[in-house]
Structure 1
Amino acid sequence: AMSEKTAQAVTDALRTTMTDGSAKTAGAAHPAAVGKTGTTTANTAGWFVGGTPDETTAVVVYRMSLKDLVPLSLKGLGGDASATPASRRAVDLWTHYIKALT
């Protein structure tokens, strides 16, 4: 367990991702949401863990070679600009999901 003060500090930090960070679109979809994005160094996987007062959900996006299970880059996948972080797709999926619930 953690103190209420610590819990509030963590919530505030996770809320900043939704208001000023890499998950602004998700924050606009649900005003009470909190979350955290992540992308591997080689841009081979991206994730987003988002929570609302009712639930928490994680989305992970990656791809790999079916021949040898080597992770493949997500750069340019689906027409994204090559500099787009892999977490962007995970944020978009979570945003569509949370909109469907509300």
Structure 2
Amino acid sequence: ILRSCIRPTQMDWVSKLPAIEFVINLARSESTRYSPFFLNTGRMPRAMIWDAPSSDGCPSVKAYAQRTKLTLTAAHDAPLTARVVRMNKRRHTCSFVVGDLVYIS
């Protein structure tokens, strides 16, 4: 991202870092399906000054904590679920029946 934002003289990259950090923290993760901003604060930041304010108003502390807990739980479970699905694709059924001889190492 940094390479595409700086000028050919490469003298302005320091001034671009805050905006680039903002963009990276705003991007949703493929594995968790949440952005770092959302996992840390429980909401997405308003990126533009002309965005309309959120319609949910000020949620109560209990509702905010519950929503944040559910979000973090979902973000934690998403990679685990993906891993289970991926591993189950490679799994094959056993063809053993009672009475078969098997080798145990």
Shorter-chain TM band: under 0.3
Task: Provide the TM-score with structure 2 as the length reference.
Answer: 0.24
Greater helix percent: which structure?
A: 2
Report which structure shows greater RCO (CA 8 Å, sep ≥6).
Answer: 1
Greater strand percent: which structure?
A: 1
Task: Provide the TM-score with structure 1 as the length reference.
Answer: 0.24
